[in-house]
Amino acid sequence: MADRAAIEAALGAPVSRLAPLHGGDLSEVARVSLADGATVVAKTGPLVAQEARMLEVIAAAGAPCPRVIAVAGDVLILEHLHEARPGAAGWRALGEALARLHAAEGESYGWSEDYAFGSATLPNAPTQDWPAFWAERRLLAWPETLPGDIAARVERLSGRLADLLPRTPPPALLHGDLWAGNVLFTTEGAALIDPACYHGHGEVDLAMLHLFGRPPPQLLEGYGTPEPGWEDRRALYQLWPALVHLRLFGGGYRGMVGGCLRALGA
């Protein structure tokens, strides 16, 4: 549970109650009730300052996300949004939000600072060549931590990326970890949470949304028609989060990694 004293110091206000929220496996998140009746969300972790900067960039792009209230040390205080059951309108709103996010383009592929999912680092040094970024900064980021046979297959696949990916797609602003659990559906639409931003091919976020489920058609109604061949490239973009899960959570994700590799003939 987040530290009450640290939260009070960040807010400059007394806390009356803390209640844990689901926040993934790599951070602690709590709903914070303040003595004045207000409610906020507190998140703790070593990279919350980077997350706050990402959320501010997302907001500047016109995509809904929680407002950053305060950052102090390893505590991030966010606006509390009321969650609602996702329906057709919510998924369409998510597509529209994602389109606005991806319209905010960078000058290169990458980000101004590296990031991490726990022990899995995300090197983000910019490049001008997208297949090179996907190979060097993602698929080959830490081959020494993967099972030897998987690492060898990923390395062989990485040598083919120039033939499988567009060289210079628009460097869209990406959420970077956009599975359904990182979308907060509200009565007003859909908000993006827990980002891992960088600039890259917009299909990365679409592929992640399809990794653990099948979004309804309203997503693309709001987003627009992706580039031809996007479904063929999906497994290549899903391979990266599958490798992250294999590293962080163990052999139970070996089948997911293998499925992506087989789909790619690797």
Q: Which two tokens stand for residue 52?
A: 């706050």
How many angstroms separate the CA atoms of 98 and 114, rounded?
A: 22
- Percent of the chain clearing pLDDT 70 (strictly above): 98
Q: By the 8 A CB rule, do 239 and 139 touch?
A: yes
Please, how many CA atoms are within 13 Å of residue 162, restricted to the half-sphere of its CB? 3
For 128-161, what is each residue's pLDDT tens digit? 999 999 999 999 999 999 999 999 999 999 999 9
Q: Where are the beta strands (DSSP E) in the chain?
A: 15-21, 28-34, 39-44, 68-72, 75-79, 115-117, 120-122, 172-174, 183-186, 189-192, 198-200
pLDDT for the residue numbered 26: 62
pLDDT for the residue numbered 25: 57
Q: What angle do CA 132, 133, 139 make, to 5 degrees?
A: 95
Catalytic residue among 177, 194, 205, 232: 177
pLDDT for the residue numbered 3: 82
CATH homologous superfamily for the domain 88-263: Aminoglycoside phosphotransferase (APH), C-terminal lobe (3.90.1200.10)
The answer to whether residue 232 is catalytic is no
Q: Where are the domains of the chain?
A: 4-79, 88-263
pLDDT higher than threshold 80 for residue 117: yes
The per-residue b/e assignment along 190-207, b for 16 or more CB within 10 angstroms, e otherwise, is: bbbbbbbbbbbbbbbbbb
For 157-179, what is each residue's pLDDT tens digit? 999 999 999 999 999 999 999 99
Same fold, 4-79 and 88-263: no
* Contacts with 250 (C-beta within 8 Å, 6 or more apart), sequence order: none
What is the DSSP secondary structure assignment for residue 39, as one 8-state letter? E
- Band the pLDDT of 2: cuts 50, 70, 90: low
For 29-63, what is each residue's pLDDT tens digit? 999 999 888 999 999 999 999 999 999 999 999 99
How many angstroms separate the CA atoms of 29 and 32, rounded?
A: 9
116 versus 35: the higher-pLDDT residue is 116
Residue 15, amino acid: V
| Fold (CATH) for 4-79 | Phosphorylase Kinase; domain 1 (3.30.200)
Output phi, psi for 71, to 5 deg.
-135, 130
Q: By the 8 A CB rule, do 116 and 219 touch?
A: no
Q: What is the mean pLDDT of the chain?
A: 94
pLDDT higher than threshold 90 for residue 198: yes
